[in-house]
């Protein structure tokens, strides 16, 4: 073989193997189909569910934000592009050629020019071959749809955020898809009553006008829980009315609204998808466990690398470098790295302090791997050794976390870990004299401990009792900002410890256990050498 031919063959072989080296461990098409079947099984006869993909969102001028799919949409389809629609039917439909189908995915149309700039699209063929859909069409066909939505008894949608814009560059983007759906279904958001509003309307309807002073009081109290009720002009007039004739008129108007029937239901999907998503399948557990382990290993590397001269930004970079090294695609939420008083801001994402000094550093970060996000927090002393005060507070948070984790057992209420941890924190702070009574409503622990994780960092769920294969965080914390009403030696201490716990038949399994948690283990890890100790870059400031 001539030399150039050998080169050519070698070049082809390398470029082919490079091209084929893309991640293949995403959720499988069978997983997504299984989830659609599970949802369909919950749908009543003659109903249809319509879900929209996320739109592309603009960052500035020619630059868009990195696209992220809506997690419910992803859960049901595996589609990772914007501007799609999933239509699921409870009963088989028949198309114009007599072919029967019970689902349809509308996708972005293939477009060579757009794909040259912004990357490949799956198109109809990809939706069928890669995602395993039996039927797929271009999104434009959803706008020209021949689906007769009026023929269904129920139409299930998710609440629209209405934060899509018409870029006018694309005639079948989410903005257009949602607009056409609204037209085809005579969508009217005023027909949807929240559960609280529904209850109040029923009360207004059923209470004789003579007794309506009571109802007015109840409306007043409900306003504190749901200030959006203020926008309900008739209800507000009813609350304040003194004239019985006016009250009667308003009562009739409200009764009519209560009876107005809409076939569109905005609760079914969120309720049923929460029920499905809160229990993880084995396929999900593989990916979620990997996201959590990557995040825990990021904490380990930072423990070894951290030095008082470093900045919050630099630490964030080390965590995120570990994520990328493992091929994680994103962070699951903006990384939180706060030294000292910054650690007392629960969702501090500026991460801009240039020197850690001898402070404690609170680091709440999670890798997103194949769509699944971890949520892991460690709080460690920048100089490698906890001070007496830091130790005292840390130990309380640790004990609260341990007590909580022990309650992650099947059948236990999901509210229990939080209650147990609050009790321990109250006692601990009281013993140290930071609060003056066990009943003091103090501001040092202003959040709960337990939320599901999965495709969302705050994954949907019903929050009843723990069940097998739930993955839930346990994250107590104590935050004593500068200027707090206690001895100033406690000021600027902000500590959260957060782990991701899998509920199993044999008890809780801490998926993030690779990141040390006890004071001794952390100090030991921080004393180790880091590969980054020798990573010195040129100084650009002189």
Q: Which is nearer to ligand GLY, 81 or 475 (CB)?
A: 475
* Strand ranges for 18-177 from DSSP E: 47-52, 58-60, 63-64, 85-94, 100-107, 136-138, 154-156
Token pair of 11, please? 């070049």
Binding partner of 390, given Mn ion, ligand GLY, none, CB within 5-8 angstroms per partner class: none
Radius of gyration, alpha carbons of the chain? 28
Q: Is 479 in the site for ligand GLY (CB under 6 A)?
A: no
Q: Which is nearer to ligand GLY, 251 or 373 (CB)?
A: 373
Token pair of 112, please? 């060579």
Neighbours of 22 (CB within 10 A): 7
Q: Is 375 in the site for Mn ion (CB under 5 A)?
A: yes
For residue 448, which of 412, 484, 481, 472 has the smallest C-alpha distance?
472
| Kind of pairing between the strands at 136-138 and 100-107 | parallel
Q: Which is nearer to ligand GLY, 150 or 447 (CB)?
A: 447
Q: Is 459 in the site for ligand GLY (CB under 6 A)?
A: no
Q: Which is nearer to Mn ion, 411 or 446 (CB)?
A: 446
Q: Is 456 in the site for Mn ion (CB under 5 A)?
A: no
Phi/psi at 93 (nearest 5 deg)? -110, 165
Q: Is 364 in the site for ligand GLY (CB under 6 A)?
A: yes
For residue 359, which of 310, 295, 392, 301 has the smallest C-alpha distance?
310
Q: Bin 357: left if φ > 0, else alpha if -120 < ψ < 50, else beta.
A: left
Q: Which is nearer to ligand GLY, 89 or 348 (CB)?
A: 348
Question: At closest approach, how far in Å is the CB of 375 from ligand GLY?
Answer: 5
Question: At closest approach, how far in Å is the CB of 377 from ligand GLY?
Answer: 7
Binding mask 419-458 for ligand GLY (x = CB under 6 A): --------------------------------------x-
User: Rounded to whole angstroms, what are the CA distances from 94 to 77, 104, 134, 142?
Assistant: 21, 12, 13, 16
Provide CB contacts within 8 A for 21, sequence distance 6+: none
Question: At closest approach, how far in Å is the CB of 347 from ligand GLY?
Answer: 7
Question: At closest approach, how far in Å is the CB of 442 from ligand GLY?
Answer: 21
Planar angle of CA 83, 86, 91, nearest 5 degrees: 160
| Chain residues 253-292 in contact with ligand GLY, contact rule CB under 6 A | none
Q: Which is nearer to ligand GLY, 222 or 457 (CB)?
A: 457
Among 333, 369, 408, 466, binds ligand GLY (CB under 6 A): 333
| Chain residues 375-404 in contact with ligand GLY, contact rule CB under 6 A | 375
Binding partner of 333, given ligand GLY, Mn ion, none, CB within 5-8 angstroms per partner class: ligand GLY
Residues that bind ligand GLY (CB under 6 A): 333, 364, 375, 457, 475, 498
């Amino acid at each position: 073989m001539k030399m150039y031919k050998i080169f050519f063959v070698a070049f082809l072989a390398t470029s082919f193997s490079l091209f084929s080296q893309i991640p293949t461990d995403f959720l499988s098409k069978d997983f997504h189909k299984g989830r659609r079947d599970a949802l369909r099984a919950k749908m009543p006869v003659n109903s249809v569910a319509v879900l929209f993909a996320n739109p592309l969102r603009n960052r500035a001028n020619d630059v868009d934000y990195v696209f992220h799919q809506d997690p419910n949409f992803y859960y049901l389809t595996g589609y990772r592009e914007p501007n799609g629609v999933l239509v699921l039917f409870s009963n088989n439909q028949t198309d114009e050629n007599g072919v029967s189908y019970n689902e349809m995915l509308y996708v972005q149309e293939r477009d060579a020019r757009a794909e040259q700039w912004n990357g490949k699209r799956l198109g109809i063929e990809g939706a069928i071959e890669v995602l395993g859909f039996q039927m797929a069409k271009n999104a434009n066909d959803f706008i020209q749809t021949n689906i007769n939505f009026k023929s269904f008894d129920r139409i299930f949608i998710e609440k629209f955020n209405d934060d899509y814009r018409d870029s006018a560059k694309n005639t079948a983007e989410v903005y257009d898809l949602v607009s056409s759906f609204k037209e085809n279904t005579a969508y009217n958001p005023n027909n949807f009553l929240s559960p609280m509003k529904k209850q109040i309307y029923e009360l207004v309807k059923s209470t004789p006008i003579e007794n309506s002073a009571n109802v007015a009081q109840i409306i007043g109290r409900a306003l504190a829980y749901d200030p959006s009720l203020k926008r309900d002009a008739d209800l507000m007039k009813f609350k304040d009315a003194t004239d019985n004739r006016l009250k009667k008129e308003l009562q009739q108007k409200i009764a009519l609204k209560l009876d107005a029937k809409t076939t569109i239901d905005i609760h079914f999907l969120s309720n049923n998808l929460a029920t499905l998503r809160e229990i993880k399948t084995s396929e999900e557990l593989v990916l979620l466990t990997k996201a959590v382990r990557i995040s825990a290993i990021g904490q380990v590397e930072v423990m070894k690398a951290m030095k008082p001269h470093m900045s919050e930004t630099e630490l964030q970079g080390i965590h995120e470098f570990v994520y990328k090294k493992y091929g994680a695609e994103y962070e699951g939420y903006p990384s939180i790295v706060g030294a000292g008083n910054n650690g007392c801001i629960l969702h501090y994402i500026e991460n801009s302090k240039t020197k850690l000094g001898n402070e404690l550093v609170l680091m709440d970060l999670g890798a997103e791997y194949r769509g699944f996000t971890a949520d892991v927090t460690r709080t460690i002393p920048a100089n490698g050794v906890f001070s007496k005060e830091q130790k005292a507070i840390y130990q309380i948070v640790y004990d609260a976390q341990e007590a909580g984790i022990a309650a992650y057992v099947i059948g236990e209420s999901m509210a229990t870990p939080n209650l147990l941890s609050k009790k321990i924190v109250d006692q601990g702070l009281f013993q140290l004299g930071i609060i003056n009574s066990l009943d003091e409503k103090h501001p040092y622990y202003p959040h709960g401990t337990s939320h599901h994780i999965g495709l969302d960092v705050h994954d949907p769920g019903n929050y009843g009792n723990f069940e097998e294969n739930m993955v839930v965080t346990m994250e107590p914390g104590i935050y004593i900002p500068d200027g707090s009403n206690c001895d100033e030696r406690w000021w600027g201490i902000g500590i959260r410890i957060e782990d991701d716990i899998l509920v199993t038949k044999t008890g809780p399994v801490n998926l993030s256990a690779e990141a040390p948690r006890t004071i001794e283990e952390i100090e030991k890890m921080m004393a180790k050498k880091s590969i980054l100790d020798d990573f010195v870059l040129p100084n650009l400031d002189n």
